């Protein structure tokens, strides 16, 4: 009688064990060790970057403290030429301006001489000429209005010849609105995690510049930032006015790894600020969706941009700000920014909030990465590598590795770095999320600490 009972109990345990194993096997639909690179850092639904153009002093005095209180990172595209201590300032590289002025009396502006005249326009030795340069460059950027651009240049040079301007030099308003900003300030902000990037030397209207003067504006601004702050701050840039002029972009691409103006990648769909399009279906891995609030943009619309990014899984919302508290282009009150930034922070569980440069690095690293998995001595061995320059692309990627259903936690080692992460489950099985540097150093994963 006792023997029968013992045998029945033993059989029950065996049957139960088989049943539980079957359930576990069914739940684990992918092999243990299968590893994916999360589309966004920390496995978030999307990403958002706060970016500021022009470096007006109120951005730092009034907006930055709000972001610091909320622990939100941001990218500031600053105009370097007006900051005290900068080595490089606005100038014209070319023939003597007196020669150009003299020629303008007998030779009308045309396609052959426009870029030279427009490049020199701000440096003719008179105040008030840059307004004409800005207008002409904008007209020249559109093939349909080139003739109007020529007329603006003819008007400028005629007034110069007639002596209608006061002698001297006057920068554009954007440079003047930056007054009070110092390199010490920028180094301080950089040390707190803010990305400081180039917006050229003088906020130049580059479709109106010839190649050598475009290069000067971009290369020397980059050089000043590198010398004053370090090479890590020379990754991103924004060509002033958001121009996407192909001739300008070709030059800028060779100087900066990341431009907010354009980012032509086979895996990225771009929607610029002027577009009324919203993120939809696409065959590409990512969508960069730029939005710029003006003084006429209701807060509800600004919030809806965030909601859209949350509802997708492929959208990078790039927000563009200029003026703050009555200083700068389309200046927004800091009270509005405070409310908006709190709304963004409330979505931090769903959105990765990061600088423009960091999101760019993450996407590129992911697109150029290779991940391999193996098992050795009861540990999972994951190798993550990339073909990119590791000195520049040094941001950790988020990996998702499926593990044994019995794991409750995982200990992850990569070189001297160790992480302990909790296991979670989805419809495919049990997995862990963790950070990994794409440097080729193997990662060891274990369900036990030792």
Q: What pLDDT sits at residue 24? A: 45
With the CA atoms of 75, 119, 176 and 129 taken in that order, what torsion angle do they form, in degrees rounded to the nearest 10? -150
289 is a domain residue = yes
Mean pLDDT computed over 125-133: 98
Answer yes or no: is 244 within a domain. Answer: yes
CATH number at residue 392: 2.60.40
242 lies in the same domain as 306: yes
Q: What is the pLDDT of residue 29?
A: 85
Give the separation between CA 76 and CA 56, rounded to whole angstroms: 10
Residue 131 lies in a domain: yes
Read off the pLDDT band of 206 (50, 70, 90). Answer: very high
pLDDT for 281 beyond 90: no
Residue 203 has phi, psi (to 5 degrees) of 60, 45
Q: For residues 316 and 302, give the distance between their C-alpha atoms in angstroms, rounded to a whole number.
A: 15
- Show Cβ contacts of residue 447 under 8 Å, excluding neighbours closer than 6 positions: 403, 404, 406, 407, 408, 409, 410, 411
Structure tokens at 265: 């990648």
20 domain residue, yes or no: no
Find the Cα–Cα–Cα–Cα dihedral 369, 375, 378, 383, rounded to 10°: -20
In this structure, the answer to whether residues 139 and 227 fall within a common structural domain is no
Residue 9 within any structural domain of the chain: no
Mean of the pLDDT values across residues 172-190? 98
Q: Are residues 297 and 23 in contact, defined by beta-carbon separation less than 8 angstroms?
A: no
Looking at the fold, whether 394 and 447 belong to one and the same domain comes out as yes
Beta strands in 119-171 (DSSP E): none
Percent of the chain with pLDDT over 90: 92
Contact indicator for 127, 167 with CB cutoff of 8 Å: yes
CB 279 within 8 A of CB 314: yes
Buried b (16+ CB within 10 A) or exposed e, 221-250: bbbbbeebbeeebbbbbbbbbbbbbebbbe
How many structural domains does the chain have? 3
Instruction: Report yes or no on 127 lying in a domain.
Output: yes
Q: Going by C-beta distance under 8 Å and a sequence separation of 6 or more, which residues neighbour residue 392?
A: 235, 257, 361
Encode pLDDT of 296-338 as tens digits: 999 999 999 999 999 999 999 999 999 999 999 999 999 999 9
User: Within this chain, do residues 236 and 309 fall inside the same structural domain, yes or no?
Assistant: yes
CB 238, CB 260: distance < 8 Å? yes
The answer to whether residue 1 scores a pLDDT higher than 70 is: no
CA angle 161, 164, 168 (to 5 degrees): 90
Residue 159 CB partners (closer than 8 Å, separation 6+): 165
**Residue 44 falls inside a structural domain:** no
Domain with 139, as residue range(s), is 97-161
Are 76 and 102 in the same domain? no
């Amino acid at each position: 009688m006792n023997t029968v009972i013992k045998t029945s109990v033993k059989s029950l345990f065996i049957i139960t064990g088989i049943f539980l194993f079957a359930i576990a096997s069914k739940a684990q639909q992918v092999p243990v060790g299968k590893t994916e690179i999360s589309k966004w850092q920390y496995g978030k639904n999307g990403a958002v970057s706060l970016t500021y153009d022009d470096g007006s002093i109120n951005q730092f005095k009034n907006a930055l403290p709000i972001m610091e209180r909320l622990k939100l990172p941001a990218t500031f595209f600053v105009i370097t030429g007006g900051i005290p201590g900068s080595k490089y300032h606005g100038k014209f590289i070319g023939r003597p301006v007196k020669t150009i002025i003299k020629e303008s009396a007998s030779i009308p502006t045309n396609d052959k001489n426009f870029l030279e005249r427009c490049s020199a326009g701000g440096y003719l030795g008179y105040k008030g000429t840059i307004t004409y340069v800005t207008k002409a460059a904008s007209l020249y950027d559109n093939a349909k209005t080139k003739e109007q651009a020529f007329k603006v240049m003819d008007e400028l040079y005629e007034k110069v010849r007639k002596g209608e301007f006061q002698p001297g030099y006057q920068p554009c308003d954007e440079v003047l609105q930056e007054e009070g900003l110092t390199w010490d300030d920028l180094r301080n902000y950089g040390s707190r995690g803010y990305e400081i990037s180039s917006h050229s030397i003088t906020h130049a209207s580059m479709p109106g510049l010839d190649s050598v003067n475009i290069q000067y504006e971009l290369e020397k601004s980059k050089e000043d930032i590198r010398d004053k702050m370090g090479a890590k701050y020379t990754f991103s840039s924004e060509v002033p006015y958001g121009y996407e002029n192909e001739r300008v972009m070709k030059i800028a691409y060779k100087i900066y790894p990341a431009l907010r103006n354009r980012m032509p990648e086979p895996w990225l769909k771009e929607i610029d600020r002027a577009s009324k399009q919203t993120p939809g279906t696409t065959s590409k891995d990512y969508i960069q969706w730029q939005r710029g609030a003006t003084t006429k943009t209701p807060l509800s619309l600004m919030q809806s941009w965030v909601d859209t990014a949350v509802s997708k899984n492929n959208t990078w919302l790039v927000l563009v700000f200029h003026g703050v508290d009555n200083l700068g282009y389309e200046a927004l009150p800091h009270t509005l920014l405070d409310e908006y930034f709190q709304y963004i922070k409330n979505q931090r569980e769903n959105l990765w909030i990061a600088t423009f440069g960091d999101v760019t690095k993450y996407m590129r690293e992911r697109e150029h990465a290779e991940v391999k998995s193996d098992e050795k001595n009861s540990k999972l061995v994951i190798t993550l590598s990339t073909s990119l320059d590791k000195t520049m692309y040094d941001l950790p990627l988020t990996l998702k590795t499926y593990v044994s259903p019995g794991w409750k936690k995982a200990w992850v080692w990569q070189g001297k770095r160790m992480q302990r992460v909790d296991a979670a489950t989805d419809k495919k099985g049990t997995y862990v999320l963790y950070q990994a540097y794409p440097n080729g150093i193997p990662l060891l994963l274990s369900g036990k600490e030792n």
